[in-house]
Amino acid sequence: MKAKLRWLLISDLHFKLYDLDRVIRTADWIAHTAHQYNVSRAVICGDLLTTRASQPTHVLSACYRFLDKLAGTVPHVNIILGNHDLAYRRDYTTSALEALSISRLAPFITLHSEIANHEWDGRRVFVMPFREEQGEIVKALRDLDSKEAAMMLGFGHLAINRAITQKHVTDPRTGEAGGPRRYPGFTGVGDFAPLARTFTGHFHSHQTILQVTKQQPRDLRGSVTYIGAPLQHTWADLFDTQKGVVLLDPESLEQELVVSPHAVGYTTAEAQDVLADRIGVKEVQDKHVMITGKLSRREYVSTRDRLIKLGVRSVRDWQPVAAEWQSGSMSLGKTVLPADIQDQPDTGRKTREELGETRRPDLARPSAVASLGLMADGTERKPFGLAEMVKEYVSSLDLEALLDDRREILTLVGKRLLEVSSHPRDRAASAVKYKDMLDLSPQSTPFVPSTDTPGAGMAQSIFAAHPVSIEIANFLSVQGTLRLDFKLHFQPGINFIVGHNGAGKSTIIEAVTWCQFGQCIRGGLGVNDVVNDVVKRNCSVRLTFANGYTISRYRKHKEFQNRVIVERNGIIQTQFEGPNAKSTQASIDDMLGVDFSTFVRTVVLGNESAASFLSSTQLQKRQLIEAVLGLEVLDGGAETCKSMLNEVDKELGDIRSQVEAKTHTIEYLRSRVNQMDKKLGCLRDEATSLTKEMQIERRKQAVVYHEKELERNNLQEELKALQPSPEWRGALSGIQRDVSQAHDEVDKLGVLARLAHARASVDRERAILGQNANATKRQLNHLEENLDHLLEENSTLETPASATQSGEDKKSTEASGGQGFLLSIASAFHNLWTFILQLASPAVRRKSRMAEEASFRAREAVRWWDEHVRAVAGLSKDVAETQAKVANMMESIANLHRDVANRTGISESDVDLAAQKFTAQEALSIPSQLTAAIERLRTLTKREVDLQCLYESQKEKWLRKQSDLEEHDKEINMTKKRWAEFLHQLRLRLASKEQEIATNEGHLEADAKSLVKYQQEACELNRKAESIHSHREVFAFWQSAFTRRQVSASTATFRGFVIERHLGELKKLFTQILMVMYQDARYARTATTGALTALFEAESEDNNHGKDEGYNISLLEPSLSISSTLDYAKKSGGERKRVDLALFFALFMISETRSPYRAGYMLVDEAFDNLDEAGQASVLKWCRWSAERLTYVFVITHSQSLVRIAEEEGTAEGGVGASVVTAKAGDRGTELEVNGVRIGVPSVSTRT
Report how far residue 207's alpha carbon sits from residue 224's, in angstroms, rounded to the nearest whole number.
8
Cα–Cα distance measured from residue 564 to residue 491, given in angstroms and rounded to the nearest whole number: 29
The answer on pLDDT for 1248 being more than 80 is no
Pick 368 or 997 by higher pLDDT. 997
Domain boundaries, the chain: 7-264, 268-315
Q: Residues 892, 768: contact at Cβ < 8 Å?
A: no
**Euclidean distance between CA atoms 248 and 793, whole angstroms:** 81
The C-alpha atoms of residue 1103 and residue 211 are separated, in whole angstroms, by 39
* CA dist., res. 635 & res. 1058, Å (int): 13
Q: How confident is the model at residue 843 (pLDDT cuts 50, 70, 90)?
A: very low
Q: Locate the DSSP E strands across 1127-1226.
A: 1157-1159, 1161-1165, 1192-1196, 1219-1226
Residue predicted with more confidence, 104 or 321: 104
Q: Report residue 61's pLDDT band, with 50, 70 and 90 as the boundaries.
A: very high
pLDDT band at 563 (very low <50, low <70, confident <90, very high): very high
Query: Residue 1115 and residue 1113: Cα distance in Å, rounded?
Result: 7
Residue 807 has what pLDDT? 46
**What is the C-alpha to C-alpha distance for residues 490 and 879, in angstroms, rounded to an integer?**
134
The pLDDT assigned to 43 comes to 97
Q: What angle do CA 7, 9, 15 make, to 5 degrees?
A: 140
pLDDT of residue 1099: 43
Which residues fall within 8 angstroms of residue 219, CB to CB, at 6 or more apart? 210, 211
Percent of the chain with pLDDT over 70: 72
Residue 239's nearest CA partner among 174, 185, 184 is 174
Separation of alpha carbons 394 and 372, rounded Å: 33
Q: How far is CA 308 from CA 238, 275, 287, 418, 1202, in A?
A: 19, 12, 10, 36, 61
CA distances from 715 to 158, 956, 957 (A): 121, 14, 11
Q: What is the pLDDT of residues 849-871, one digit of tens each?
A: 454 565 555 555 555 666 666 77
pLDDT at 30: 96
In this prediction, residues 256-274 reach a mean pLDDT of: 93
Residue 974's identity, in one-letter code, is M
Which SS3 state, helix, strand or coil, does residue 207 take? strand
Residue 507, amino acid: T
**Among 667, 604, 260, 310, which residue's Cα sits nearest to residue 465?**
604
Average pLDDT over residues 1163-1175: 75
**How many C-beta atoms lie closer than 10 Å to residue 1042's C-beta?**
25
Instruction: Specify the pairing of strand 463-465 against strand 1157-1159.
Output: parallel
Q: What's residue 795's pLDDT?
A: 65
Quote the pLDDT of residue 1124: 65
Find the range with the poorest average confidence among 85-89, 804-808, 1084-1088: 1084-1088
State how far the alpha carbon of 1130 is from the alpha carbons of 186, 338, 1172, in Å.
19, 9, 18
Beta strands in 300-408 (DSSP E): 314-315
Residue 1106 is predicted with a pLDDT of 44
Give the mean model confidence (pLDDT) for residues 895-920: 71
Residue 110 has pLDDT above 90, yes or no: yes
Tell me the one-letter amino acid at 993. Answer: K
The residue that leads in pLDDT, 954 or 1239, is 1239
Q: How many CB atoms sit inside 10 A of residue 1081's CB?
A: 22
At residue 411, does pLDDT exceed 50?
Answer: yes
Closest by Cα among 499, 472, 470 to 486 = 470
At residue 959, the pLDDT reads: 81
Q: State mean pLDDT over 567-578.
A: 90
The DSSP code sequence of 1192-1216 is EEEEE---HHHHHHHHHHHHSTT--
As a whole number of angstroms, the distance between CA 24 and CA 292 comes to 30
How far is residue 322's CA from residue 1051's CA, in Å, rounded to a whole number?
Answer: 7
The model's pTM: 0.41
Query: DSSP letter at 208?
Result: E
What are the residues facing 213 on neighbouring strands? none
**Contact, 185 vs 198, CB < 8 A?**
no
Asked if the model's pLDDT at residue 202 lies above 90, the reply is yes
Q: How far is CA 49 from the centre of its chain?
A: 23
Closest CA to 191 of 228, 137, 146: 137
Check residue 848 and give its pLDDT. 43
Q: Residue 803 — very low, low, confident or very high, per pLDDT cuts 50/70/90? A: very low
Q: Is the pLDDT of residue 559 over 60?
A: yes
Nearest-angstrom CA–CA distance, 1031 and 685:
53
pLDDT score at 439: 67
CB burial of 263-292 (b: ≥16 within 10 Å; e: otherwise) equals bbbbbbbbbebbeeeebeeeebeebbbbbb
Q: What is the pLDDT of residue 469?
A: 93
Q: How far apart are CA 1144 and CA 1152, in angstroms?
A: 12
* pLDDT exceeds 70 at position 881: yes
Non-local CB neighbours of 825 within 8 Å, separated by 6+ positions: 787, 875, 876, 879
Q: What torsion do the CA atoms of 616, 620, 621, 625 make, to the nearest 10 degrees? A: -150
Give the pLDDT confidence of 1-37 residue by residue, as tens digits.
467 889 999 999 999 988 999 999 999 999 999 999 9
**Dihedrals phi, psi of 39, to nearest 5 degrees:** -75, 140
C-alpha span between 83 and 51 (Å, rounded): 10
Whether the Cβ atoms of residue 637 and residue 421 lie closer than 8 Å to each other: yes
Give residue-wise pLDDT tens across range 905-915: 677 777 777 66
Lowest mean pLDDT of 108-117, 269-278, 1212-1221, name the range.
1212-1221
How far CA 712 is from CA of 278, 704, 972, in Å, comes to 80, 12, 10
Q: Distance between CA 418 and CA 448 in Å, rounded?
A: 13
Amino acid code (one letter) for 1146: A
Q: Are 401 and 1033 in contact (CB under 8 A)?
A: no
Would you say 750 and 930 are in contact if contact means Cβ atoms under 8 Å apart? yes
pLDDT category at 801 given cuts 50, 70, 90 is very low
Task: Give the closest residue to 263 by CA, choosing from 242, 284, 281.
Answer: 242
Whether the per-residue pLDDT at 937 is higher than 60: the answer is yes
CATH code given to domain 7-264: 3.60.21.10
Q: Does the pLDDT at position 342 exceed 80?
A: no
- List, in sequence order, every residue forming a beta bridge with 166; answer none if it has no partner: 181
Mean pLDDT in residue range 672-689: 87
Q: Which residues of 236-259 are buried (b: 16+ CB within 10 A; e: fewer)?
A: bbbbbeebbbbbbebeeeebebee
Residue 236 contacts residue 177 (beta carbons within 8 Å): no
Look at residue 256 and give its three-state secondary structure.
Answer: strand
CA angle at residue 416 from 410 to 418, to 5 degrees? 105
Answer yes or no: are the C-beta atoms of 912 and 897 closer than 8 Å: yes
Q: What pLDDT does 799 receive?
A: 44
